[in-house]
Chain A
Amino acid sequence: MIPELGHFALVLALAIALVQSTVPLYGARTGDAALMGVAAPTALAQFVFVAMSFAALVACYVTSDFSVATVFENSHSSMPLIYKFTSVWGNHEGSMLLWVLILTVFGALVAAFGNNIPATLKATVLSVQSWVAAAFYVFILATSNPFLRLAPAPFEGRDLNPILQDFGLAVHPPMLYLGYVGFSISFAFAIAALIEGRIDAAWARWVRPWTLIAWICLTLGIAMGSFWAYYTLGWGGWWYWDPVENASFMPWLAGTALLHSALVMEKREALKVWTILLAILTFSLSLIGTFLVRSGVLTSVHAFASDPMRGEFILAILVLFIGGGLTLYAWRAPTLKQGGLFAPISREGALVINNLFLTTACATVFVGTLYPLALEALTGAKISVGAPYFNWTFGPLFILLLMVVPFGPLLAWKRGDLKGVTQRLTAAFILAVVGILAVCVIEGRPAFAAFGVGIATFVIAGAVTDLGERTGLWRAPLPTAVRRAVGLPRSAWGAAFAHIGLGVTLLGIVGETQWGSEQIVSLRQGDKVAIRHYDFTFEGTATRDGPNYKELDVRFAVRRNGELIGEMVPAKRTFASRQTTTTEAALMTRGVSQLYVSLGDVAADGAIAVRIYHKPLVLMIWLGAVVMAMGGALSLSDRRLRVGAPKRAKARAALQPAE
């Protein structure tokens, strides 16, 4: 009964979506307030029905109703409750339902909190968003119905893929989807602006908070995914340039560019046409990401068992929205009015440089990710493009970008003074040189490491300099500076934090890749291994029973310079229901560095293969991402985004009705 209700609710949501995607749009074109008014209630209703549908699926999983095919395939009655819950989206069907749930959440948020958006724009935005929703409802109902029943209901489920039985599954997919799908709002705003043929600074001010929310979630989602892979896969890697990782990284790069160009549009009404294009491209990349991950064209941990029909269907959605969006853009963008002028050396100019580098870097990732697919389709040759490609293309471009990051916020709008800015950055520059020298003296090895530390220091010190300049920290007396700091717009703090986060992540990357050390050895009880300043002693093994697995624990005593600092217990879990094993790495945190021990297989003579890593500064990689997200949140709380815009916009909307 419950699965049928869920299914029915989804069908109702589709029906509502069809109404929402046409009626308000027609109302907005004809100026019919009643028809435009349909958008908000239907958006809320869509959310309610999809939430009901999702709740029904959750109920099936939590009560282990194995008569539902996806529950049988992906759940087990002995799994802990949290995994029963998270396994709802640990499979293709459920994850698509989560996708549309988040889509409707965003739609409902715009409907509920978008009171200050002009009525025609709001109606058009919600309509456009509903096109996306309708396409995905049809996709789910036609090719991946999560409520399919099995005729004699099985007694026991097949269990969730053991790799996914982790807390990471509770956070990573929902966060990532909040990011992916959040960009659908920017997309809807861009399409609406093209339909209306009108776009102004107020438009950018309405779009920015939604883009920011999506960007924050995507940042955290990617960081969480990376951290999860790091501790769960057992080889200590945090980024593999796997196509699926790239699929989430490309919208992040484009979204970051969008955030910056929307800033120019909001303040200076310039880069309008470009911002619209970026909004379309960012969501297109999100859709491509969904396609890559969900269609089964890639071999990856994310590729759930799939049938070709789904791939073709998502491809059709892709072509429809990306092709349609870009066609509309080509047709309507030339009609948008030109914005303000600016000199090449100015804040706007710096943001243009930022956009150039971000989009180009994004394009190189795109080429590396899709080239193998294209080549296989054209010539049949199967190739893989590995990490070296990305290090050689993305790396240099991003390093160039990082070198100019500190200049941007210090330049004035319209016409900046590069010499003055360089003078103000002298302290940051000196700090960077000190950092490079310090690294050369202390570590001595890879020159790249010293260079990386220098750039990271420059980025961080540059952001601090910006805050110092704005508050007059080293000119005015301290109380004045503090007062100014409190009065500083939160978006200024946000920008500084985001840039600091970037520097922190870079430090982590340099530390982990350049100074990390690794030992892969075969050990027996009593054996010792040394890595950097640490000694590991194999103390003994034990076996333990978990709820749905058996575990082999290996105890290591860890000593630093001979002094005992703790114990690390990596394990191997064997899941009977799927006859698979997983590796549970043991981690020991020392400041922002970590020791990492994971197990390989047990040889016939009782020796166990062990991987031991020392990963200096590794935690800074994700800490930096969290700082970036914090910066985003600070910027989101800026007063300007909540007030300011509506008053001006209402007056403007009253003066010039839509053409």
Chain B
Amino acid sequence: MILTDFQKDAITEIVNIAFGRAVASLSELTGSRILLTVPKLEICTIDQLPSVLMEILNSDVCTVHQIFTGEVSGDALLILDYKGATVLASLLTGEEIENMETSAKEVLIEVGNILLNACLGTFENMLHVHITFSVPHLHLNQLNHTLNTIKMGKEEIRYVILVVTTFTVKESNVGGYLLIVLGVVSLDKFIQCIKNLEMDR
């Protein structure tokens, strides 16, 4: 599926705005200044993912997973490698966290929830699509296991909007990936909404 420059730019801008809102919420929550980098964005099929995420494919990752339904439906995921997750939890809470014990998991679920909600919410807002979100879940797993879980039971080809980003908190950086997984029909609808924006005015 090939997108025009305008379409890619539109999605990037929407994610930018979403990150801005998320960062404002996170900042208010934690009391620290937080930056999220201008994201690098790619669109590919879910089968192409392994080559893109090769570096962390076989490592343990921390995933916050939220399912969304409505006019468009799919899965939204925030993925951090295990070490990154503990570092981020430490930076945000100001406490020394070495393992993903329950408190650390809670922190990441709340943070992941804020980030994913901001993304889905901004898509909803700007593209005028109606979306409902599920309760987020946190998994600690190998990345390829997580990817398999998303593929499971779905017949259609699934596409992924992949955003590579970095959290900067208190002068430390933690890298992460945001994935929005959509089926063909949903992606079509998505692109249609973007086209409407283009046509509009």
The answer to whether A and B belong to the same complex is no
Write the residues of chain A forming the contact surface with B, with a CB cutoff of 8 angstroms.
none
Write the residues of chain B forming the contact surface with A, with a CB cutoff of 8 angstroms.
none
